[in-house]
């Protein structure tokens, strides 16, 4: 969202982009890949932990 602050995801088009809209981006990626939203979130988390191992020890809000 920081690289394109003027282009929010479709449901929010016309508003300034913000980090909270990342959920819409993840949903779009899940749809494109034929995955459930939950499976996409898990894949994104695994990739994040692989790149930033310190995240593995970070509590996740439920």
Structure tokens at 20: 């909270």
Q: Read off the pLDDT of each residue in 33-59 and give the average, rounded to a whole number.
A: 94
Residue 5 has pLDDT above 80, yes or no: no
- pLDDT digits over 12-24, tens only? 888 878 888 889 8
Determine contact, residues 13/19, Cβ cutoff 8 Å. no
Q: Read off the pLDDT of each residue in 37-60 and give the average, rounded to a whole number.
A: 92
Residue 9 has pLDDT above 90, yes or no: no
Within 13 Å, how many C-alpha atoms sit on residue 21's CB side? 17
Query: What integer best gives the mean pLDDT of the chain?
Result: 86
Structure tokens at 31: 């749809």
pLDDT in the model for residue 1: 43
pTM > 0.85? no
């Amino acid at each position: 969202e920081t690289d394109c602050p003027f282009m929010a995801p479709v449901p929010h088009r016309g508003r300034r982009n913000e980090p909270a809209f990342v959920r819409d981006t993840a949903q779009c990626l899940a749809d494109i890949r034929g995955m459930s939203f939950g499976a996409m979130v898990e894949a994104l988390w695994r990739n994040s932990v692989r790149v930033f191992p310190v995240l593995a020890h970070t509590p996740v809000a439920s």
